[in-house]
Each structure stands twice: as structure tokens, then as C-alpha cells.
Amino acid sequence: GAGLAVGAVGGGVAGARVGAADAEAGTAATGAAGGTPSLGSAAVPFHGERQAGILQPAQARVQLAVFDLVPEAGRDGLRRLMQAWSATAARLAAGEPAAEFDNQVALDAGPCSLTVTFGFGASLFDKTGLAARRPEALSPLPDFPGDALDRARSDGDLWVQIGADDALVVFHALRTLQRQASGTAVLRWQATGFGRTPGATERPMTGRNLMGQVDGTNNPKPSSPDFARTVFADGPDWMTGGSYAVYRRIRMLLDNWDNLPTDRQERVIGRRKSDGAPLSGGTETTPVDLAKVNPDGTLAVAADAHVRVAAPSGNGGAAMLRRGFSYQDGLLPDGSPDAGLLFIAFQADPARGFVPVQRRLARGDSLSRFLRHEASGLYAVPPGAPEGGYVGQPLLE
């Protein structure tokens, strides 16, 4: 998964949770007991070494908005847009109105942990005369077995991830950024998702996805020595300290899934549904013992269990920081739910993260019977901008 996390225990993610990262990432959000008292006033600074929206726990709401530059925009247009967008994102993240195009929709709300994260798609570089500076790591993702991708809801020049703990705050940011882009870039696709609302559970916990699984437990931990090497790029120049975001809209075949008995659902993942503990024993945070054999000689974590096939140990060490959100968009024409996971994973290089893992999952993961990858994107997420600077400045100035 990718989860949905709420900041906690296992450092989860799927969604949201980068637990241990909270403090380091400077989130002011977590109110003492469950978070609600400070929900509105919690603020995440826009400026800093990293862009916001990578290390913070996933918020209750997300909007992904991907824009394409208009043909006449060019590099100058892109530079002006990134300046304007960065200035707006910084103001909104601090709970101030935007300097222009503010429609006052979120007038009564605090920043609610708003983060705005910008990424550049491969197609942006040709349109701005920057093809020579397109990083190798931004090469198109390969096709994977079973992909059913809708290109109209994939790819795109400029990726904007807007997260906050309040839907109106998210919408306000979206509208302001969209109106600022007018004449320079047009919306190509968007997706709306959600995670756990802070305070919904008695104590902060790793979130659950729409299949009901505790999702995000075994994410790389910010405290581990190789965390930065796993998540953040060491070049080229303008990308040093940035990251690569892989996006997949993954529909869940929930009618099939929900009819599967719980013990079979657990075998598909390799973890218990109730508390996320590995089937090899222990609690949620106990390391998975992939070698453990049951008394009857079978593997405790099945050969095709999701956590086995996805584990770094079988993938040459490939790892990524999953920070996804759930989505639900009503019903499809056949009556099945149009719902699933907006999978978002950050890594230093997709060739050592998402790609080798998804190659194995697409072939050997028993979870893949219950999933359809319907859209895809890969974006270079530059490092954060210092006070007074804008995202992408070292590339665009």
C-alpha cells in the first residue's frame, strides 16, 4: 500500500504516516490527546531544505492537480509560474490569504497542516528548452503486466500535491493556484483523496486503506541510517536533496475482496487484518520473519504474499517512502465501486525503488488479482526553496 497514515506507531504510511518523521519535519499539528484542539492552527512551513508534503504524516484530505504548460509559455512563463505558486503556497501554509486571486473560501480556517508539493514531469523539459537537463531518473516508467492505464489521467508537465486536514482549505489552495496559472498552464487531470482525520482514533495509529488493512507499517524510518539515501536524490545539481514521486491510481476490486474470508485476506498480504501484525508473529512493529515455517511445513508468510514480494530483501534492496491516500469516486457503469488507492511513493531513483518492486508485484503478488492500475505518473520533486526563493529556482533562473 501506500498508505494512509496518521502519524504514528509504525511510521506508517500508506497514506500517511510517517510517524517518527513528525518531529523532524516540524509539524506543529499533533494536539496532545488525539490532535483535534490544534487541528486548524497546525502549520507546516513551505520553505525549507525539503519540500513539505513528503515527510509529514499524510493529511485527512489530498488533491492532486496536474497541469500542462500552454505552448507559448516557455521557460519564462514556467519561471514566473513557479515564483507565483511558491509565494502563494508559502502564504497559505502560514495561514495568510494569497496576495492575488484569493477568493476567501477558507477565510475562517487556519492552515490545517496545508502542504503544497510541486513536481516536474518529463514532458516539461522539451517544452521549456531544458531537455539537456532532464534527469536520467525521470525516464518513462516501463509498462508492467496488467497495466490498464488511462493516459488522459496520467503523466503531465506539472504535478501539484495539495494536502490539508480540511477539505475547504484544500479546495481554496487548488482554486488559487489554478487561477494563478491562467494563461500559462491548464489542468490536465486531478484526483481527490483522503486519509484518516486526526483525532478519529483514540490514539494516533497507522492508517487503514479501503481494503481494511493497516497500511504503512514497514515504511523506511527517518531514524534509519539509509533513509535519506533511499528517499532523496543526490543529483543532478538542481535535484540534489529532491525526490522522485511515482503516482499510480490503483482501483481496488472491492466486491471480490470483501467477499474473501478474513483469513484468506490475511494470507494475501502476510499480515493480520485486526492489528497489522505479521503472520510470522508478534505485533505490528515486529519485523516480518520471511523464513518462518508453520508446524504443518507451510510458510507463515506465503510465497506470493504482498509483503514478501514487495520486501527490499527480494528486490535488491529497492525501497521507497509510500505516502498514499484513499479515493472513492462513486460507481462505475457496471455498478462496482470506483475506489482504491492514490499510490504515491517518494524515492531517490525509481530504478532503485518503484520499478523493480512493481515488476515483481505485477507478476507474483496475490494482491494484484484485486487491483487495477488505471493511471500513472512520474515527477521530479525538486528540493525545498529557501525563504524568498521558489521551487525549481536552480533549474529555471
Binding site for ligand HEM (CB under 6 A): 1-2, 14, 209, 211, 213, 215-218, 248, 250, 252, 269, 271, 288, 306-307, 310-312, 340-341, 343, 354, 357-358, 361, 371
Give whichever of 174 and 269 is closer to ligand HEM, judged by the CB atom.
269
Which residue lies nearer to ligand HEM by CB, 114 or 254?
254
| CB 136 to ligand HEM: min, Å | 20
Considering the complex, state which of residue 86 and residue 213 has its C-beta at the smaller distance from ligand HEM. 213
At residue 9, φ and ψ (nearest 5 deg) are -50, -65
Query: 3-class SS at 346?
Result: strand
- CA pair distance 397, 388, nearest whole angstrom: 14
Least Cβ distance, residue 309 to ligand HEM (angstroms) = 8
CB of 328: closest distance to ligand HEM in angstroms? Answer: 13
- The residue with its CB nearest to ligand HEM is 1
Q: Considering only CA atoms, which of 84, 22, 350, 58 is closest in space to residue 216?
A: 58
User: Contact at 8 Å (CB) between 57 and 3?
Assistant: no
Which amino acids are annotated catalytic? 215
Q: Of the two residues 184 and 213, which places its CB atom closer to ligand HEM in the complex? A: 213
Q: Are strands 325-331 and 321-322 parallel, antiparallel or unpaired?
A: unpaired
Q: Which residues of 226-239 are buried (b: 16+ CB within 10 A; e: fewer)?
A: ebeebbbbeebebb
CB 323, CB 58: distance < 8 Å: yes
> Cell 477558507 maps to which residue?
106
| Cβ atoms of residues 39 and 199 within 8 Å | yes
Question: How far from chain centre, in Å, is Cα 178?
Answer: 21
The least CB distance from residue 211 to ligand HEM, in Å, is 5
CB of 137 to ligand HEM, least distance (A): 16
Kindly tell me which of 311 and 380 has the beta carbon lying closer to ligand HEM. 311
Structure-block grid coordinates of residue 64: 492532486
